[in-house]
Structure 1
Amino acid sequence: MNCHQAYEALQGLIDNSLNKKELVEIKTHVRNCPACKAEYRALKMVAEGLDRMPLYETSPGFNKEVFRRLGLEYKPQRRPAWQSLAMAAGLSLSVFWLTALAAALPTLLMGAKAYKLTQWLHHPELILPSFQSAILKSGLAAYQTLGFAAKVAGWLLKSSALPTQMAVAGLLALVLVFITMRFFRPQTSL
């Protein structure tokens, strides 16, 4: 490694971003070359000084003032309300489906036919494909339901009547709760 190559790699040595081969080469060169050793020490002092400096926090109006001086209009990036509502609805539906799947798993296992259980006992290699199939089917059902929910949410968000949107969303939530209670209730036999 010559001095020009070492000079190019000194910043990588300081940042600890070199691979092992480059690291060995640059350390060997810096150890044996007084000029590169002095340059490395100077760069290291600058880097350590910068690390010790406190971060400058700008005032709340800094960006606005910079844009004003440049003759531009400053518009802080804000997420539209409908995007926040859609994300909240998607998150709540995800939680709902994960809860429903967790609640359905014991019922699925209890409802499995006796011959299926004995088949799994004698051939444990069949358990994984069965669960994969059940999970895939549940995932596809959740995907279709989420697609439908997204269409309904888009339809609801097109209009500007917030009370109507809230009422319809509340009714949909109640319907989902009742459907869940009806289909995922553990069945007991006495």
Structure 2
Amino acid sequence: MTSNKAAAGTLVGTSIAAIGLMAMHPTGEASDTLISGVHGSLLIVLLLQASALLWILRASSFRDLNASVFFAAGTIATIAAGTLNGFVYPAMRAYQEGEIGHDIFDLVWRTNQALAELGLLGVGLGFALWSVSLFKQGDKAIAVFGLVAGLAPGVLLLSGHLGMDLPGAMLAYAIHVLWVAVLGVSRWRRS
């Protein structure tokens, strides 16, 4: 199997895994083990998907390099947000009532939200910039879908029509994952 086919298969497989894990996403009342397990699994899936995307859409122009940088920065912010929600928050819940003030929980939540928002914007800009290159390469349908998938969640976020609470994040991430899956299927067929 070629590296391109392996990367394309990784995009499809991680997209399916991400959707499954997002469907299992725990709420604040879930056990710490479940919260950490789902978030940790999502972070591994995210890293595998990122490596496959960076391989398939590797820079052949300055615009592609910018896409990779925005995508990488967004991925790092998303990983940080997932680490807060999946590991820091459960660790804080282990303390006795009153040992950690609600202001600290609020700070962790607000930091999570800021990182999730930055992550969404960075990844989305990366997708949009890569899509311009895909359009120029003749992958017009995937490129148009990539532009919409990359930019629409960010526009909705910035205009106040989408939050990064659980329902909003699920919608935004599902749009991103769907584009990644379509790109993966396309590249699988091509390689």
Which TM bucket (shorter chain)?
Answer: under 0.3
**Greater relative contact order structure (CA < 8 Å, 6+ sep):** 2
> Normalising by the residue count of structure 2, what TM-score does the alignment of the two structures yield?
0.28
Higher Rg of the two aligned structures: 1
